[in-house]
Amino acid sequence: MPAFLRTISDLLPTNPICVRLIQGGSTRRRHLYVRSGYLAVLIVVLLASLVGTPGGGSLRDLAQAGAGAFGIVAVGQVALICLLTPIFMAGAIAQEANPRTWDILLTTPLNALQIVLGNLFGRLFFILALLLSSLPLFLFVQAFGGVPGRSIVLSYLVAAASALVVASIAVTLSVTRTAGRRAVFAFYVSVIVYLAITWLIDAQMRTGLAVGGMSTATTLMTPLNPFLALESLLQANRYVAVDPGPEASSLARWWLGSPISAFVWTGVAVSGVLIVFSTARLRVIGGKVGQVPWYRRWFGLGPRSGEGRVARSPGTNPIAWRETSSRTLGAVGLLGRWGFVAVAMLITIGLLWGFHVGTLSLPALRQSLLALVVAEVAIVVLAAINMSATAVSREREDGTLDIILTTPIQPGPYLAGKLRGLVQYLLPMLLVPVLTTAIVLFYALARPDATVDQVQNIVLGGGTLPVPLVTWSGPVALAVLMPAFTAFVVMVGLQWSIRSKGTIGSIVSAVMVLLVVVGVLGLCGGASGSINVLAELVNAASPFNLVFAALRPEDALTPQSIQSGADRGTLAVGAVLAAVIYGLIVYGMHASMKQNFMMTVRRLAGTR
């Protein structure tokens, strides 16, 4: 082979790092389970959307059912890609961020571009394989009619561009060694926050195309969010890509008139910039080993391994004290926890102030508050999963667990200390959704006439249905449910942290289990929406369903419940029952894990 072609081939097809990652990952059961679960979820969503679509069996009804099913599956595919890409790329952040790994790579004949592209596309290959594996489902939907082939191709381009951008960011974090393993959780949170913020800004910037019409025009945020770009494709009659006119620049006309093209090419451009930056950055990271960070030098903290720390009392359970206090020693832990609280409160007050001065309409306020509280709950759940799923496996990897097992502490107090310490650390964060809904409730009580939305009532035969800004039992139910649900999430993470050899495997397993639990509870809450009291009780079992029932009762509860007073306290009663059930589940999991702890730990003893 000529030298020129060999050089081109070594960048991707025969790249040693790319080949190693693909060959090693293809033999792992975890990747097989992820691929199988991905297809299973898409198949279930497709069948549920087809079965739940009414129709008389004509070709037109069948085409409409196929188009609706395609829209649901396409959005679900992008959501799963955004969720699974950080999981597959977590190895690039956590493993390759190890200084010894990079030191070894830098001594090989590989150049910087080969190292970066090998890490990027070696892991991105599995995401692209997931996309191709779902192609038969889209072809099956197209057989019903109503779904043009161009829409399928464009939906795949949106998903692929999203995966490319997320993967490029992960490799950049790996090359810059940003926060090490902590960056895995920060990576997840950043993706959720970015999607939520761009969606909120787009909701405020939308303008109607006609007076009294339902159609709105695309905004500057549309090509920056994969779900907004996909909405402009799937609901082109309601979210219309409008040409701003000949007086606008060519860039503005392309950005607003072709959001799919703008999103894909923007993602490719951003990924290219990150790849170039990572390539230029790679050769200088070897000289930074052992240096003291600038912020620690400014405040005279010295290196992380320095001595001189003031002694602290461990309390009655040293494991609980260690889990709580060790995470608050660094500036990252303090800023991450209290910064989340401060930002959430500022956003809540800002939204209410915007509505108070008239710059924000009531429907836009309700939509923004719903997105905000859902994002807050999601961040708390992800934080609990990340911390609990690495609580034991991290100690196994660094050898701390072997030292702890030589002490007199028993498995029961050890696991109870982990649970108590993590819940105490997360307590300020899990109270954020409660405080947000409480602030909204106090504002609604101060302005009862201005905060009642008149929603179109179709179920009871037309007219309008007055819906409050937030139900009074919402903050009470969240205050009862969030600690119990967080304890349940922590126990699930601890269980997989004990069973898994490494931190990445434990995080992936815990996330999958929680997705199934939250998905089943969400389906049960949606299915019970037509039953009067049962809908309120079932929706209180999941914090996500509870947020919908508190802020969007017309979508989660029956019109009869809203008209008769949705705040009969049923949500709070359901939250109490759910908290008791979660408490019993946590107690049972603790008893089971306590009995099998020593056997599991000995079976995995010595593994890294």
**For residue 285, pLDDT beyond 70:** no
How far apart CA 263 and CA 523 sit, in angstroms, is: 32
Q: Cα angle at 275 between 130 and 159, to 5 degrees?
A: 25
How far apart CA 520 and CA 48 sit, in angstroms, is: 13
**Residues 506 and 570 both lie in one domain:** yes
Q: Are strands 464-468 and 239-240 parallel, antiparallel or unpaired?
A: unpaired
Residue 607, number of CB atoms within 10 A of its CB: 11
Q: Which residue would you say has higher pLDDT here, 235 or 212?
A: 235
**Residues 254 and 336 both lie in one domain:** no
Where does a domain end: 262, 285, 308?
285
How far apart CA 30 and CA 35 sit, in angstroms, is: 9
Asked if 551 contacts 372 with a C-beta cutoff of 8 angstroms, the reply is no
How far apart CA 313 and CA 110 sit, in angstroms, is: 51
**For residue 588, pLDDT beyond 80:** yes
466 DSSP β-pair partners:
454
Rounded to an integer, the average pLDDT of 217-228 is 88
The closest of 327, 328, 325 to 314, measured between CA atoms, is: 325
The pair of three-digit structure tokens given for residue 135, joined into one six-digit string: 């192609």
Question: Is 529 domain-assigned?
Answer: yes
pLDDT of residue 306: 46
Q: How many domains is the chain partitioned into structurally?
A: 2
How much is the CA Rg of the chain, to the nearest whole Å?
A: 26
**Residues 103 and 212 both lie in one domain:** yes
pLDDT of residue 326: 63
Sorting pLDDT into bands at 50, 70 and 90, what band is 264? very high
**For residue 487, pLDDT beyond 90:** yes
pLDDT of residue 480: 92
Where does a domain end: 285, 309, 329?
285
Rounded to an integer, the average pLDDT of 306-334 is 61
- The mean-pLDDT minimum among 70-74, 181-185, 295-299, 447-451 falls in 295-299
pLDDT of residue 215: 80
**Residues 371 and 275 both lie in one domain:** no
The pair of three-digit structure tokens given for residue 481, joined into one six-digit string: 């449910």
- The mean-pLDDT minimum among 217-231, 327-341, 480-494, 570-584 falls in 327-341
For residue range 124-163, list pLDDT tens digits in order. Answer: 888 888 888 888 877 777 776 667 788 888 888 998 898 8
HEC profile of 410-461: CHHHHHHHHHHHHHHHHHHHHCHHHHHHHHHHHHHHHCCCCCEEEEECCCCC
Residue type, 332: V
Sorting pLDDT into bands at 50, 70 and 90, what band is 123? confident
Question: Is 303 domain-assigned?
Answer: no
Sorting pLDDT into bands at 50, 70 and 90, what band is 479? very high
- The mean-pLDDT minimum among 178-187, 268-277, 387-396, 528-537 falls in 178-187
Sorting pLDDT into bands at 50, 70 and 90, what band is 565? very low
**For residue 538, pLDDT beyond 80:** yes
Sorting pLDDT into bands at 50, 70 and 90, what band is 308? very low
**Residues 329 and 391 both lie in one domain:** yes
**Residues 369 and 243 both lie in one domain:** no
The closest of 14, 427, 387 to 184, measured between CA atoms, is: 387
The pair of three-digit structure tokens given for residue 78, joined into one six-digit string: 């992008």
- The mean-pLDDT minimum among 38-52, 421-435, 542-556 falls in 38-52
Sorting pLDDT into bands at 50, 70 and 90, what band is 584? very high
pLDDT of residue 290: 47
Sorting pLDDT into bands at 50, 70 and 90, what band is 556? low
**Residues 370 and 462 both lie in one domain:** yes
**Residues 327 and 264 both lie in one domain:** no
Question: Is 297 domain-assigned?
Answer: no
Q: Are strands 452-456 and 464-468 parallel, antiparallel or unpaired?
A: antiparallel
pLDDT of residue 179: 46
pLDDT of residue 8: 73
pLDDT of residue 102: 60
Place of tokens 């607003």: 256
Where does a domain end: 241, 265, 285?
285
Most confident option among 118-127, 344-353, 395-404: 344-353
pLDDT of residue 461: 54
The pair of three-digit structure tokens given for residue 493, joined into one six-digit string: 């993470």
**Residues 325 and 454 both lie in one domain:** yes
Rounded to an integer, the average pLDDT of 365-385 is 89
Q: Which residues of 546-572 are buried (b: 16+ CB within 10 A; e: fewer)?
A: bbbbbbbbbebbbbebbeeebbebbbb
Question: Is 551 domain-assigned?
Answer: yes
**For residue 330, pLDDT beyond 70:** no
Question: Is 298 domain-assigned?
Answer: no
Predicted model pTM: 0.62
Q: Which residue would you say has higher pLDDT here, 103 or 143?
A: 143
Question: Is 151 domain-assigned?
Answer: yes
Sorting pLDDT into bands at 50, 70 and 90, what band is 95? low
Residue range of the domain that includes 212: 3-285
Rounded to an integer, the average pLDDT of 560-586 is 78
Asked if 383 contacts 376 with a C-beta cutoff of 8 angstroms, the reply is no
* Residue 118 CA to its chain's centroid (Å): 26
**For residue 485, pLDDT beyond 90:** yes
What is the average pLDDT score of the chain? 77
Question: Is 70 domain-assigned?
Answer: yes
How far apart CA 261 and CA 254 sit, in angstroms, is: 8
Share of the chain above pLDDT 70, in %: 76
**Residues 81 and 218 both lie in one domain:** yes
Q: Which residue would you say has higher pLDDT here, 543 or 133?
A: 543
How far apart CA 160 and CA 258 sit, in angstroms, is: 17
Question: Is 300 domain-assigned?
Answer: no
**Residues 363 and 445 both lie in one domain:** yes
The closest of 238, 206, 237 to 222, measured between CA atoms, is: 206
How far apart CA 523 and CA 511 sit, in angstroms, is: 18
pLDDT of residue 448: 78
**Residues 465 and 371 both lie in one domain:** yes
